[in-house]
A = this chain, B = another copy of it.
Amino acid sequence: MKVDVIISADHINEESLEGKTVVVIDMLRATSVITTALANGAKKVIPLLTVEEAFDMKEELKSLGESVLLGGERRALKIEGFDCTNSPLEYTSDVVKNNNVVITTTNGTRAITLSLKADEILVGAMINAKAIVDKVKDINKDVVFINAGTNGEFSMDDFICSGYMIYLLSKDKEHDLTDIAKTAKLIYKSNENIIDYIKDARHYNILKTLGLEADLNYCCQKDIIKSVPRYDKNKKSIVI
């Protein structure tokens, strides 16, 4: 199995993903939110780029008799008229069960949109890393870990999350790792307590300054969720 990492949605070469498994990672906080919402019983998660698309989708689903929850953030704050922010802690079972969750996320949605040529698009974070890796092994095709990044830039948090997944993947079998995949794994191996590394990340510090430490502590936990969210190209939704 070939194992690669792409450090930003800006660097995706769509053709190169054909026949492969993609794992989209935006651990602070979009893919942690998606994973949590689905594990807690949400019917599906619909990732959209803009607030306008989210409101339109809510109307469309309501007209079909579906219940809808709007989630997301702009500059880490709740969007007017939305139900939830981008804090995974808000997506409890009480809130999401049997609901359709529409979330607006720029980096994560872009990464998914640019990955449509892949055979399978999984959505992962630290909190479900082991489950993702087990699924990647089952599928047994070349895999690319796509770090959504922050505004097109490399993000330390997504990188070490990829490194942890590659470490798990390589535990019982040697795979063909690119230089960047080897480096991500090495960063994880040198920082198994991932906060030691992430504490220097720009995005982590922005969230910390905003008082979102509870979110950070939640998102940095390993393997607390067994669900494997995957993007269903026909339904244009993420499901488990």
Please provide the chain A residues from 136 to 166 with a CB less than 8 Å away from any CB of chain B in the complex: 153-156, 159
Number of copies: 2
In whole Å, how far is A107's beta carbon from the nearest beta carbon of chain B? 14
- On whether A178 and B202 interact (CB within 8 A), knowing A183-B159, A186-B187, the answer reads yes
Neighbour of A154 across the interface among B10, B178, B202, CB < 8 A? B178
- How does the 8 Å CB contact mask read for A54-90 relative to B, with 1 for contact and 0 for none? 0000000000000000000000000000000000000
Neighbour of A156 across the interface among B156, B183, B190, B203, CB < 8 A? B183
Asked if A213 is at the interface (CB within 8 A of a chain B CB), the reply is no
How many chain A residues touch B (Cβ–Cβ < 8 Å)? 21
Q: Which residues of B contact A190 (CB under 8 A)?
A: 186, 190
Alpha-carbon distance between A200 and B178 when the two chains are bound, in angstroms: 10
Alpha-carbon distance between A186 and B178 when the two chains are bound, in angstroms: 19
In whole Å, how far is A70's beta carbon from the nearest beta carbon of chain B? 30
A interface with B by C-beta (< 8 Å): 7, 10-11, 153-156, 159, 178-180, 182-183, 186-187, 190, 197, 200-203
